[in-house]
Amino acid sequence: MTEETKDLQVQAAEETEQLEASDEIEVLRQQLQTAEHKAEENWDKLLRTQAELENLHRRMERELQNAQKYAIEKFAKELLAVMDSLELGLQAAVESDDVEKIREGMELTLKQLLTVFDRFNIQPLDPVGEPFNPEFHQAMATEEVKGVEPDTVVKVFQKGYLLNDRLIRPALVVVAKPSAQEQPRVDEEA
C-alpha cells in the first residue's frame, strides 16, 4: 500500500465519518423538531386544562353560593301556608268573639306547622317522665316530687327540637330532685 492509497483510505474514512455525523445531526434535528412539537402540544393541553379547572372552580363556587342562599327555599314555601293560616285566624279573632272557633283555627294551624316540621324531619322533644339528658335538656330548676325518681324530667317549660337527629334547641325542663328524707346525711361528728 502506498502512501497515496493510505491517504485515500483516510480521506474516505473521514468522509464516511462526516456523512455518518451529518446523518446523525439530521436524525437529531428531526428528533428535536418532534420533541418541540410534542412540547407545544403538551403546553397547549396544560393551558386548556388549567382554564377548564378555573371554570369548574368558578361554577362550583357559584353553585355552592346558590345552594347556601336558597337551601331553605322549600321550607320557607311550606311555612307560607302556616303564615296564611295565622293571618286568617287573627282576622277571624277580630271579626268574631267565638273563642271556640279561634281555638279550632289555632289547632289546625298548629297541625299544619307540625306537618311542615315532619316533612323536613324536625322532631319536637317533650321529655316529661324521661331521665334528664344534658345532651338534649337544659335544667331550669329542680323540684321535689314524691313518687318520681330523682333526675327525671317533671315539667317542660319549652320543648326542644331535633333536625335530622341533630339538636337545634334543647328542651327547657324542671328536674326531680331527691326529697330531703332520701338525701344522704353527712355525719358531722366524724
Q: Which CATH number fits domain 124-183: 2.30.22.10, 3.20.20.105, 3.40.1410.10, 1.10.3480.10?
A: 2.30.22.10
Segment 21-79, tens digit of pLDDT: 777 888 888 999 999 999 999 999 999 999 999 999 999 999 998 888 888 888 888 88
Distance CA 174, CA 1 (A): 124
Q: Which residue has the cell 321550607?
A: 75
Distance CA 33, CA 39 (A): 10
Give the residue extent of every domain in the chain: 1-70, 72-120, 124-183
Predicted pLDDT at 49: 96
* Strand bridging mode 166-169 / 160-163: antiparallel
Lowest mean pLDDT of 7-11, 32-36, 91-95, 106-110, name the range: 7-11
Phi then psi for 180, rounded to 5 degrees? -60, -30
Predicted pLDDT at 181: 65
* Strand bridging mode 171-177 / 137-144: parallel
DSSP tag of 152: B
pTM of the model: 0.59
